[in-house]
Amino acid sequence: MASIVQLNEAVRDLVRDGDVVALEGFTHLIPFAAGHEIIRQQRRNLTLVRMTPDVIYDQLIGAGCASRLVFSWGGNPGVGSLHRLRDAVEKAWPAPLAIEEHAHAGMAAAYAAGASGLPFGLLRGYLGSDLPKVNPNVRFIECPFTGERLAAVPAVRPDVAVVHAQKADRRGNVLMWGLVGVQKEAVLAAKRSIVTVEEIVDDLGAPPNAVVLPTWVVNAVCHVPGGAFPSYAQGYYARNNAFYKQWDEVSRDRDSFTAWIDRHVKGTSDFAGFRRSIEEAAGHV
Amino acid sequence: MASIVQLNEAVRDLVRDGDVVALEGFTHLIPFAAGHEIIRQQRRNLTLVRMTPDVIYDQLIGAGCASRLVFSWGGNPGVGSLHRLRDAVEKAWPAPLAIEEHAHAGMAAAYAAGASGLPFGLLRGYLGSDLPKVNPNVRFIECPFTGERLAAVPAVRPDVAVVHAQKADRRGNVLMWGLVGVQKEAVLAAKRSIVTVEEIVDDLGAPPNAVVLPTWVVNAVCHVPGGAFPSYAQGYYARNNAFYKQWDEVSRDRDSFTAWIDRHVKGTSDFAGFRRSIEEAAGHV
Amino acid sequence: MSETTYTSDEMMTIAAARMVRNGAALFVGIGLPSAAANLALRTHAPDTILIYESGTIGAKPTVLPLSIGDGELSETADSVVSVPEMFAYWLQGGRIDLGFLGAAQIDRYANINTTVIGDYHKPKVRLPGAGGAPEIAASCKEVLITLRQNNRAFVDTLDFVTSAGFLTGGDSREQLRFPGKGPTAVITDLGILTPDPVTKELTLTSIHPGVEVEAVRKATGWPLKVADTLDVTAPPTAHELSVLRDLQERTARAHAGQA
Amino acid sequence: MSETTYTSDEMMTIAAARMVRNGAALFVGIGLPSAAANLALRTHAPDTILIYESGTIGAKPTVLPLSIGDGELSETADSVVSVPEMFAYWLQGGRIDLGFLGAAQIDRYANINTTVIGDYHKPKVRLPGAGGAPEIAASCKEVLITLRQNNRAFVDTLDFVTSAGFLTGGDSREQLRFPGKGPTAVITDLGILTPDPVTKELTLTSIHPGVEVEAVRKATGWPLKVADTLDVTAPPTAHELSVLRDLQERTARAHAGQA
């Protein structure tokens, strides 16, 4: 059974230095609030897993939380590079960042394998790509029936999965809809899980065959309205494309990045405080 | 793009003697009408694939359509044995029936592999079971990362998949809900597919993340209201448990089975005729 | 408490229901296991999560389902998933606390047969087959088995091992690295058998009220081990019986109503 | 028809859009491919099925998405599936007719690099990486690639092969038993290159109006093969241009509106 707790308590109790942590959400429902709380609590040496490390991982990496990244596409969607990710990979700032790089198909298979209790994910993948040359975790096996050569990747098995969803009920059952990415797989593959939600309601009102995480596979449910900002929560608010574009400026330079994190994330006590701080700053421009 | 056609045309055009055919539906949405049409058109030497061969496969087997059965549980759910299946396996009546027998987990993995374009399905399965001793299509492979021993089963790749769903729209997009079994996998694994539906509507009105088969993965959509009888279609009609119980009597004996099939299936021209024939018979008892 | 009469089947179902820990995620086979699981849900274990292989998670049926996929299961479930997801993410994923199985035959190491009586290729009786049982038996953290005890069912040697219990006993299950620890009890209409901690041989550890040990031995196709201190199963309480009978009456009415 | 002015980027997008067969199931990368695909949908190919790796099948966006998972994609889709399902059942399952990719670097055999400029372990420029591209390139029945042509992008030797085209040319792709037949055209701001039927080397087969062959050679980091009979790409029609510009204006307005 999930506990319904404050986000700072959930991160304090469930995310530990050195953990393998997957914050998932494919463009939609990205758990920004939870990522910020990990920065505030200054977790270190995390292995960050995510198919599409975008702005939230840029922030975690720039803030020095990570020592390793497992991923398949790292960019600011529709904008360009992630400058903090590049600075860590290219110049080891603020700390060296080891990378394990996949293709999306491999990461998706690895999450599904993790959720399925299998040691590896199987795919027709990486054919002709140089990725297996730089990633020893891409291997090849033979089909025992046809002799075909297929790719294998180790299952993703995070210590903690963190996702954002639209709704939970008071028992901690979680409902999400729209683009659901690999969120269900991440939670089911992980040892522990945190779900932030837009709303806590009496009755989920889930349509048939909806994507539901039953309360007994979740550790903590945290009520954080707007917690996916600047990404979006379908049915609640749209993607803040302007934020993503502005991030390109903020993150380009180490000093402006650090000032931003210090002021808006470390200088606030929770996500509501972060949102007020961002709005104030915008008002003064 | 799916064609919206009569069921007898769909079976005529898409189901051929000697085909591998999967009629799926896990208790719910079992495509009885389509099964009857295959009997009426006297298809022969079919390899029938289905996780849970129940009354519809008992009818197809008893009517002499099948020479091989791939399955994981063959019974009349909640009632007992399938007498026609047993007679075929035990006494080769009306024809010998070769069987390839799996566990549900293996069949589910085999369908998913078929839908995924993989030559085999991977699972932690068949551990300690005698099934691999009698089924050479259960093999074992080693994990290239951990050395663990895992089971492998060949992908299911039917020539034709046949399923029943609640709704299609006029373009042939299909919506189903409730217990959806392996229907989506069966259709995506198959070379050709037939979907019978309760209703054809202007707008599917599908909720987010619903189970939808887009028109371009379906060959034929056929409007057959009640086409899952005596199984059920959630939102339309309940399971006719009495029919399943009566089937035990009808099917116990070769002659009573043959008389029933001749009168109600071969003696009628379509599923509506079958339903009237059954009701008349009930009225005279 | 007043004297209550009850059948041996009622005793079996009630004894099996009592083994369900409240709050457990329970993978339920149809028939006797389903009756016991639904009784548990209505008595001491209201937070039990009933999971049927048809895809329903957290089903709350008001009557006993006739099939593993009755409409009421999916209409009352917290979540309904596809069958491949059920087997991959939920069962194989290690999410299930307790598997609840029936059987046609069982041996002293709680291996079970639901496939065939006689030779596989020349069967005397062709049974329905494996269904979900081999992986339920392998992957659930713990397994309960319930069936009626007689020497056609409790046999010295299985005609076919469909689903593994403790294989040949001792550490033979551990050596094959099964994810789950295997059967912890077999509940019959005569008593309760549990595996010996070392040899894993099923041992009669509780006998239902009014049953003689000799009768249990006669109903067992191997020389049955009996615990030194044999418990007597507590008889059904009036509450247990009334809940079970009420459930069965409602079930009979509901299933008769469709024709 | 009156003379119309247009940019080389517009010519590229329009030429790429024209390659889309109406009714095709099209797996779309973000950026140039997405613009071309959406243009096709609004001109000659209204029944094209747009598929984005975020999970949307049959998306019908009214503006160009900024990200691969904009809300409008899922709100307008015929079906929204999980990312593992998208890659397993739809892409790997062989359901996609046409993959539409961009690239940072391309070589003469249409292999592409979206991973790194310079050495992988000491990168000069770290690019976003593979995303869905290696399996889009491998599994779609056919692949189109669109990018601007210059000799930093069109290189003799890739720094990294992210996604395979024709590998080392000839039958080297067939020997690895790729499910799909590979790139059928590379559409740039200067012209259209297609693989030689035998050697698979990219050959300039169409040149956009007003572009000199010599300029295309200079923009290519290898000795470019030019077809004996070189087509001139039909210039954008007024209709194509107006639909494209309208789409881009609406897109700019929609994306500026959120702050």
Give the ipTM: 0.97
Q: How many Å apart are CA B66 and CA C54, to the nearest integer? A: 26
Nearest to B166 by CA among B238, B240, B225, B229: B225
A33: three-class secondary structure by DSSP: helix
Phi and psi at B138, nearest 5°, equal: -110, 115
Work out the minimum CA distance from A193 to partner chain C, whole angstroms: 14
Closest alpha carbon within chain B to C34:
B78
Mean pLDDT of chain D: 94
Under an 8 A CB cutoff, do A179 and D139 touch? no
**Residue D163 · residue D112 · CB < 8 Å:** yes
Angle at C48 between CA A22 and CA A190, to 5 degrees: 10
Residue tagged active-site, from C10, C53, C135, C201: C53
At a CB cut-off of 8 Å and minimum separation 6, what does C6 contact?
A: C14, C235, C236, C241
C141-194 pLDDT, tens digit per residue, is 999 999 999 999 999 999 999 999 999 999 999 999 999 999 999 999 999 999
Under an 8 A CB cutoff, do B134 and C120 touch? yes
Q: Is the pLDDT of residue B10 over 90?
A: yes
Q: What residues make up the domain containing D13?
A: 8-255
C86-117 pLDDT, tens digit per residue, is 999 999 999 999 999 999 999 999 999 999 99
Under an 8 A CB cutoff, do D66 and A244 touch? yes
Q: How many Å apart are CA B81 and CA C238, to the nearest integer? A: 35
Chains touching C (3+ CB pairs < 8 Å): A, B
Residues of chain C positioned with their CB less than 8 A from the CB of B51: 83
C241: three-class secondary structure by DSSP: helix
Residue ranges of domains in chain A, CATH in brackets: 3-102+157-280 (3.40.1080.10)
Nearest to B119 by CA among A171, A146, D214, A193: A146
Query: Best interface-test mutation with C: which of A116, A120, A173, A193 has the largest number of C CBs within 10 A?
Result: A116
A31-51 pLDDT, tens digit per residue, is 999 999 999 999 999 999 999
Work out the minimum CA distance from B101 to partner chain C, whole angstroms: 8
Q: How many Å apart are CA D93 and CA B114, to the nearest integer? A: 8
D205: three-class secondary structure by DSSP: strand
Q: What is the pLDDT of residue C3?
A: 55
- Whether the bond into C209 is cis, omega within 30 of 0: no
**Paired tokens of C143:** 């397994």
Long-range contacts of range D40-43, CB-CB < 8 Å, 24 or more positions apart?
D42/D243, D42/D247, D43/D17, D43/D239, D43/D240, D43/D243
Work out the minimum CA distance from B81 to partner chain C, whole angstroms: 7
Closest alpha carbon within chain C to B72:
C131
Work out the minimum CA distance from C167 to partner chain B, whole angstroms: 7
- The CATH number linked to C112 is 3.40.1080.10
Under an 8 A CB cutoff, do D73 and A234 touch? no
Chains touching D (3+ CB pairs < 8 Å): A, B
Mean pLDDT of chain C: 94
Asked if residue C1 belongs to a domain, the reply is no
The length of chain B, given as a count of residues: 285
- Report, as residue numbers or ranges, the catalytic residues of D: 53
Under an 8 A CB cutoff, do D179 and B117 touch? yes
Closest alpha carbon within chain C to B229:
C259
Phi and psi at A265, nearest 5°, equal: -105, -60
**Paired tokens of A166:** 């639209």
Residues of chain D positioned with their CB less than 8 A from the CB of B185: 89
- Estimate the share of chain C in helix, then strand, then coil, as percent rounded to the nearest 5: 30, 25, 50
Under an 8 A CB cutoff, do A240 and D259 touch? yes
A185-240 pLDDT, tens digit per residue, is 999 999 999 999 999 999 999 999 999 999 999 999 999 999 999 999 999 999 99
A251: three-class secondary structure by DSSP: helix
D137-173 pLDDT, tens digit per residue, is 999 999 999 999 999 999 999 999 999 999 999 999 9
Q: Is the pLDDT of residue D2 over 60?
A: no
Look at phi and psi of residue D118 and say left if phi exceeds 0, alpha if psi is from -120 to 50, else beta: left
* Residue D257 binned pLDDT confidence (cut-offs 50, 70, 90): low
Under an 8 A CB cutoff, do A112 and D66 touch? no
* Residue C30 binned pLDDT confidence (cut-offs 50, 70, 90): confident
**Paired tokens of A105:** 């198909």
Asked if residue D2 belongs to a domain, the reply is no
| A151-160, B28-37, C119-128, D61-70: least confidently modelled range | D61-70
Residue D222 CA, distance from chain mean position: 21
* Residue C70 binned pLDDT confidence (cut-offs 50, 70, 90): confident
Asked if residue C2 belongs to a domain, the reply is no
Closest alpha carbon within chain A to C88:
A116
The total of other beta-carbon atoms located within 10 Å of residue A55's CB is 25
Under an 8 A CB cutoff, do B239 and C176 touch? no
Question: Average pLDDT in the C119-130 region?
Answer: 92
**Residue D184 · residue D144 · CB < 8 Å:** yes
Query: In terms of pLDDT, which residue wins out, C134 or C32?
Result: C134
Q: How many Å apart are CA C135 and CA C119, to the nearest integer? A: 23
Query: Best interface-test mutation with B: which of D86, D95, D139, D178 has the largest number of B CBs within 10 A?
Result: D95
Chains touching B (3+ CB pairs < 8 Å): A, C, D
Q: What is the pLDDT of residue B78?
A: 81
Residues of chain D positioned with their CB less than 8 A from the CB of A209: none
**Residue D211 · residue D190 · CB < 8 Å:** yes
* Residue C31 binned pLDDT confidence (cut-offs 50, 70, 90): confident
**Residue B126 · residue B81 · CB < 8 Å:** no
Which residues on neighbouring strands pair with residue C106, listed in sequence order?
C112, C154
Work out the minimum CA distance from C88 to partner chain A, whole angstroms: 5
DSSP assignment of A185-250, as one string?
Answer: HHHHHSSEEEEEEEEEES---PPTT-EEE-GGG-SEEEE-TTTTTTSBBTTTB---HHHHHHHHHH
Residues of chain A positioned with their CB less than 8 A from the CB of D126: 74, 81, 85-86, 89-90
Under an 8 A CB cutoff, do A146 and B177 touch? no
Under an 8 A CB cutoff, do C78 and A210 touch? no
Query: Best interface-test mutation with B: which of A26, A28, A100, A118 has the largest number of B CBs within 10 A?
Result: A118
Closest alpha carbon within chain A to C55:
A209
A237-281 pLDDT, tens digit per residue, is 999 989 999 999 999 999 999 999 999 999 999 999 999 999 999
Query: Best interface-test mutation with B: which of D47, D73, D90 has the largest number of B CBs within 10 A?
Result: D90
Closest Cβ opposite residue C134 in set B27, B103, B180: B103
Percent of the residues in chain A that have a pLDDT greater than 70, as a whole number? 99
At a CB cut-off of 8 Å and minimum separation 6, what does A92 contact?
A: none
3-state secondary structure chain B: CCEECCHHHHHHHHCCCCCEEEECCCCECCCHHHHHHHHHCCCCCEEEEECCCCHHHHHHHHCCCEEEEEECCCCECCCECCHHHHHHHHHCCCCCCEEEECCHHHHHHHHHHHHCCCCEEEECCCCCCCHHHHCCCCEEEECCCCCCEEEEEECCCCCEEEEEEEEEECCCCEEECCCCCCHHHHHHHCCEEEEEEEEEECCCCCCCCCEEECHHHCCEEEECCCCCCCCEECCCECCCHHHHHHHHHHHHCHHHHHHHHHHHHHCCCCHHHHHHHHHHHHHHC
Work out the minimum CA distance from D49 to partner chain B, whole angstroms: 9
Under an 8 A CB cutoff, do D92 and B117 touch? yes
Q: How many Å apart are CA B41 and CA A77, to the nearest integer? A: 55
B125-157 pLDDT, tens digit per residue, is 999 999 999 999 999 999 999 999 999 999 999
How many independent structural domains does chain D possess? 1
Query: Strand (E) positions, C53-169?
Result: 56-59, 79-80, 98-101, 105-106, 112-113, 116-118, 123-126, 142-146
Q: How many Å apart are CA C9 and CA C15, to the nearest integer? A: 10
At a CB cut-off of 8 Å and minimum separation 6, what does D220 contact?
A: D149, D151, D154
Count B/D contacts: CB-CB distance under 8 Å.
Answer: 38
To 10 degrees, the CA torsion angle through A166, A172, A173, A177? 10
